[in-house]
């Protein structure tokens, strides 16, 4: 969601804060602001819209100071205006915040009654006033922060700039991540280590309800009850270069192209090509240990979960459910004894996924996390972490982390099947061989980009697009429709092809491209029957298939792309690439903001 950063150092704060905000912009870009501390006190600059607007403002109206806080916003409370932009200030403090203060109305009403005046519609401004009042009452930032935490409800991370104390920055974490950065030239608070790439690799992640007090001579971390605690300093291995765009126009384009490496790196942790084995270290997956799996996630990760469900059922004959995190918890879904919860989250910080995971833990179930962020809350709270090794993903629309999640779930399904005895070691070795060649197949598909671009230019003219598929290809179709909506703003729907005749077929006319994901597998003929139905009603058919499918398809499609043939089990990994590239190039054609599509944010840390 929002991105926050704080800096206290030897050099000027503004360039450091801006650099950090640019790296955090994937978390939200409705407005941006900074506040710095200098001889005049706390000075603030804010702008609606992207960080570029704030930068332009600072170029003409700069501020000096060696300490400060910065924020990039994804609006929750109050419109994305300058008035609602963070930091929010009053008295001796300026506050930046990520998350939601759930009891802000009560707190604001109380403080209004006490004579305080509020300028914005945000929940954050309440924190500024409350902390300012507590600072007066308690005398020290440590005591005021402890008292603040007792009064605030919700999930949040805070960075507060304080005037007139040796504690210049205070940070707090409850439910939303906050890291302390230990640099040569200064000390930092930040939503994630990516913000600090290029400044420091040494980072400590705060735990739930930790406070951080940043003085010139170091950072003191206080745990629950205000007692000093030590949090390990880890080397993040992120460099400024790793998260640049390189020669690509967009992060999304770069990340699509990185998929052979991302999937290869990820598979490398679970696959031993020489031994022909696939293992999930630390997991007991056999009968007795696991009777059912429930895979839970949001957004694109939910589609990975659905593919995982299909594989677990088919390969391991294990009952499996895939569920949307925000629904799972609130309908109080039961989880049977022996039920394993698998929580899938690129960021490991998605509020709904985390809450659903805590719900499963509350039921006493074992929980497993599939995440790209091993330092995330989801990873820390899971019984076992299955990491994806996709590297940082900055484009808001998930691409390489999706295929990496799907690759891990395939390994999980194969390992479960082996432990349940539904496949033997010969089949495991065969599937290990299939996975070994997968990264090079992905590279071959990526090399077909020009074909996908041509389709995308056609699709970009449409107002509505229908995606169809069967089996795991229906899920790839759903991911394709989601990608198209997210970044090109074209209305797209995806349906299991067999369901089309029960409603969606009414949408079809000559203006609606119908993109069909149909590898030449055992479902191909059934899908083609549905394609004929669509074609008979004037639908323009775009067929994404493989060599076997192309041989069988006949003249049904207006356009067809033919992907390399792979084992029918792993087609979702291969067919994901064209649907990503179609969305990317449709967005390019329409001129939308590919990496930062409107209204979206990459890491959604509010419910
Ligand atoms: C946001 C992103 C999506 C992502 C979803 C879940 O909506 O824009 O790309 O799929 O969150 O994120 P997670 O980090 O939990 O995988």
* Same domain assignment for residues 439 and 472: no
- Closest atom of ligand 1 to 350 CA is 15
Residue 193 is part of a domain; what is its CATH number?
A: 3.60.20.10
Give residue 345 CA to ligand 1 midpoint distance, Å. 7
Residue 335 inside a domain? The answer is: yes
CB atoms within 10 A of CB 441: 20
For ligand 1, mutation pick of 74, 191, 322, 350 (most atoms within 8 Å of CB)? 350
Give backbone dihedrals phi and psi of 88, rounded to 5 degrees, phi first: -105, 135
CA of 59 to the centre of ligand 1 (A): 34
For residue 223, give the nearest of 150, 148, 172 by alpha carbon: 172
Domain stop point among 242, 277, 292: 242
Yes or no: say if 349 and 156 are a contact pair by the CB < 8 Å rule.
Answer: no
- 203 with 261, same domain: the answer is no
Q: How far is the CA of 495 from the centre of ligand 1 (A)?
A: 21
What is the atom index within ligand 1 of the atom nearest the CA of 401? 16
Q: From its phi and psi, is residue 137 left (phi > 0), alpha (psi between -120 and 50) or beta?
A: alpha
How many whole angstroms separate alpha carbon 125 and alpha carbon 128?
A: 5
CATH number for position 542: 3.40.50.10490
**pLDDT tens per residue, range 49-66:** 999 999 999 999 999 999
Domain span at 590: 448-595
Residues 556-582: tens digit of each pLDDT: 899 999 999 999 999 999 999 999 999
The per-residue pLDDT for 241 is: 56
Cross-strand pairs, 179: 190, 205
Which pair of structure tokens corresponds to residue 233? 């300093």
* Protein residues whose CB sits closer than 6 Å to any atom of ligand 1: 298-301, 345-347, 350, 353, 396-398, 600, 602-604
Pocket-testing residue among 479, 604, 605, ligand 1, by greatest number of atoms within 8 A of Cβ: 604
Give the C-alpha separation, 8 to 441, whole Å: 48
The single residue of 50, 400, 483, 602 carrying the catalytic annotation is 602
Tell me whether residue 605 is in a domain: no
Q: Are residues 235 and 316 in the same domain?
A: no
Strand extents, DSSP E, 199-297? 202-205, 211-215, 218-222, 234-235, 271-272, 277-278, 292-297
Secondary structure (DSSP) of 457-488: HHHTT-SEEEEEESTHHHHHHHHHHHHHHHHH
Contact predicate 343/298, CB 8 Å: no
Q: Are residues 472 and 521 in the same domain?
A: yes
Residue 491 lies in a domain: yes
Which residue in 2, 254, 309, 483 is the catalytic one?
Answer: 2
| Most ligand 1 atoms within 8 A of CB, residue of 192, 300, 370 to mutate | 300
Q: Give strand ranges (E) for 202-260.
A: 202-205, 211-215, 218-222, 234-235
- Shared-domain flag, residues 112 and 138: yes
Distance (Å, whole) CA 298 – CA 350:
8
Which ligand 1 atom is the nearest neighbour of the CA of 398? 9
CB < 8 Å & 24+ apart, contacts of 224-233: 226/142, 226/143, 226/146, 231/180, 231/204, 231/205, 231/206, 231/207, 232/204, 233/182, 233/202, 233/203, 233/204
Give the Cβ contact number of residue 205 at 10 Å: 21
Residue 91 neighbours by CB under 8 Å, 6+ apart: 132, 135, 136
- Across-strand partners of 4? 71
0.85 exceeded by pTM: no
How far is the C-alpha of 524 from the C-alpha of 161, rounded, in Å? Answer: 61
Distance in Å, CA 26 to ligand 1 centroid: 11
Q: Is the dihedral of CA 437, 442, 448, 452 positive or negative?
A: positive
217 domain-assigned: yes
Do 89 and 220 reside in the same domain of the chain? yes
- Closest ligand 1 atom, residue 405 Cα: 16
Point out the domain boundary residue: 446, 463, 496: 446
Distance 12 CA to ligand 1 centre (A): 34
The pLDDT value given to residue 600: 82
Which residue numbers in the chain have pLDDT < 70?
238-243
Q: Whose alpha carbon is nearest atom 15 of ligand 1?
A: 345
CB count in 10 Å sphere of residue 96: 33
How do strand 366-371 and strand 339-345 relate by DSSP bridges? parallel
Best residue among 347, 392, 398, 599 to mutate for probing ligand 1's pocket (most ligand atoms within 8 Å of CB) is 398
Could you tell me if 262 and 366 lie in one domain?
yes
Number of folded domains in the chain? 3
Specify whether 294 is located in the same domain as 259: yes
Residue identified by tokens 């759903």 is 478
Using DSSP's 3-state secondary structure scheme, residue 3 falls into strand
Q: Ligand 1 centroid vs 25 CA: distance in angstroms?
A: 15
C-beta neighbour count of 479 within 10 angstroms: 31
Nearest protein Cα to ligand 1, atom 5: 299
Q: Are residues 70 and 183 in the same domain?
A: yes
Whether 309 sits among the annotated catalytic residues: the reply is no
Report which ligand 1 atom has the smallest distance to the Cα of 353.
15
Residue 285 lies in a domain: yes
Report pLDDT digits (tens) over 416-460: 999 999 999 999 999 999 999 999 999 999 999 999 999 999 999
pLDDT reported for residue 242: 59
Q: Is residue 600 part of a domain?
A: no
Neighbouring C-beta atoms of residue 233, cutoff 10 Å: 13
Cβ pair 574, 442 in contact under 8 A: yes
Q: How many CA atoms lie within 13 A of 469 on its CB side?
A: 29
Whether residue 266 is contained in a domain is answered as yes
Q: Where are the alpha helices (DSSP H) in 121-179?
A: 124-138, 141-151
What is the pLDDT, as a whole number, of residue 597? Answer: 86
Distances in whole angstroms, Cα of residue 345 to Cα of each of 9, 32, 297, 300, 349: 34, 26, 6, 9, 7
- Is there a contact between 154 and 105 (Cβ–Cβ < 8 Å)? no
Could you tell me if 43 and 148 lie in one domain?
yes
Partnered with residue 469 across adjacent β-strands are 496, 517
- If asked whether residues 571 and 453 sit together in one domain, one would say yes
Q: What angle do CA 179, 408, 406 make, to 5 degrees?
A: 100
Indicate whether 372 belongs to any domain. yes
d(CA 364, CA 585): 46
* Closest C-alpha to 95, from 171, 174, 20: 171
Alpha-carbon gap, residue 186 to 545, rounded angstroms = 54
Beta strands 3-9 and 67-73, pairing class: antiparallel
Q: What is the CA(346)–ligand 1 centre distance, in A?
A: 7
Residues in the chain: 607
* Domain edge (last residue) among 242, 264, 286: 242
Nearest ligand 1 atom, CA 298: 6
Question: From ligand 1's centre to the CA of 299, what distance in Å?
Answer: 5
Element housing 156 (H / E)? strand 154-162
Residue whose CA is at the smallest distance from ligand 1 atom 2? 602
Active site residue 590: no
Question: Are residues 456 and 395 part of one domain?
Answer: no
């Amino acid at each position: 969601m929002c991105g926050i950063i704080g800096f206290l150092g030897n050099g000027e704060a503004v360039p450091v804060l801006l650099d950090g905000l640019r790296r955090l912009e994937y978390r939200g870009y409705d407005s941006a602001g900074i506040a710095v501390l200098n001889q005049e006190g706390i000075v603030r600059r804010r702008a609606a819209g992207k960080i570029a607007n704030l930068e332009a403002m600072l170029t003409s109206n700069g501020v000096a100071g060696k300490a400060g806080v910065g924020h990039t916003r994804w609006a929750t409370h109050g419109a994305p205006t300058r008035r609602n932009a963070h930091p929010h200030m009053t008295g001796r403090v300026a506050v930046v915040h990520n998350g939601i203060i759930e009891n802000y109305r009560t707190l604001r009403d109380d403080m209004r009654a006490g004579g305080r005046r509020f300028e914005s519609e945000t929940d954050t401004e309440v924190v500024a006033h409350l902390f300012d009042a507590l600072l007066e009452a308690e005398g020290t930032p440590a005591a005021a922060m402890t008292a603040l935490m007792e009064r605030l409800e919700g999930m949040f991370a805070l960075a507060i700039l304080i005037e007139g104390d040796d504690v210049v920055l205070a940070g707090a974490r409850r439910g939303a991540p906050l890291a302390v950065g230990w640099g040569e030239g200064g000390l930092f608070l930040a939503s994630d280590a990516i913000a600090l790439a290029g400044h420091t690799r040494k980072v400590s992640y705060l735990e739930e309800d930790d406070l951080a007090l940043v003085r010139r001579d170091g950072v003191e971390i206080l745990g629950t009850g205000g007692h000093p605690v030590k949090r390990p300093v880890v080397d993040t291995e992120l460099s400024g270069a790793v998260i640049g765009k390189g020669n690509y126009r967009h992060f999304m384009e770069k990340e699509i192209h990185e998929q052979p490496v991302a999937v290869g790196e990820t598979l490398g942790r679970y696959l031993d090509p020489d031994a022909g084995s696939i293992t999930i270290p630390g997991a007991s997956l056999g009968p007795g240990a696991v009777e059912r799996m429930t895979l839970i996630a949001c957004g694109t990760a939910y589609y990975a979960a659905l593919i995982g469900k299909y594989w677990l059922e088919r390969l391991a004959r294990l009952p499996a459910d895939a569920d949307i995190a925000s629904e799972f918890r609130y309908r109080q879904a039961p989880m049977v004894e022996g039920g394993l919860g698998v929580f899938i989250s690129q960021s490991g910080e998605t509020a709904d996924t985390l809450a659903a995971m805590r719900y499963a833990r509350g039921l006493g179930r074992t929980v497993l996390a599939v995440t790209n962020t091993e330092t995330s809350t989801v990873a820390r709270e899971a019984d076992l972490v299955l990491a994806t090794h996709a590297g940082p993903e900055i484009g808001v629309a998930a691409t390489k982390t999706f295929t990496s999640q799907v690759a891990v779930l395939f390994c999980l399904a194969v390992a479960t099947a082996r432990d349940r005895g539904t496949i033997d070691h010969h089949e495991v070795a065969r599937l290990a061989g299939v996975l070994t060649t997968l990264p090079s197949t992905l590279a071959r598909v990526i090399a077909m980009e020009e074909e996908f671009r041509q389709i995308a230019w056609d699709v970009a003219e449409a107002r509505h697009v229908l995606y169809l598929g069967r089996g795991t290809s229906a899920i790839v179709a759903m991911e394709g429709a989601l990608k198209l909506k997210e970044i090109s703003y074209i209305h797209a729907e995806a349906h299991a092809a067999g369901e089309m005749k029960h409603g969606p077929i009414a949408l079809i006319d000559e203006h609606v491209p119908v993109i069909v994901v149909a590898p030449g597998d055992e479902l191909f003929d059934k899908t083609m029957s549905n394609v004929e139905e669509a074609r008979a009603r004037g639908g323009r058919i775009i067929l994404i298939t493989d060599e076997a499918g192309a041989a069988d398809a006949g003249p049904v499609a207006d356009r067809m792309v033919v992907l390399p043939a792979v084992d029918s089990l792993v087609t979702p990994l291969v067919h994901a690439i064209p649907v990503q590239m179609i969305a990317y190039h449709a967005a390019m054609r329409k001129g939308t903001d590919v990496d930062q599509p409107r209204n979206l944010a990459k890491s959604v840390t509010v419910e």
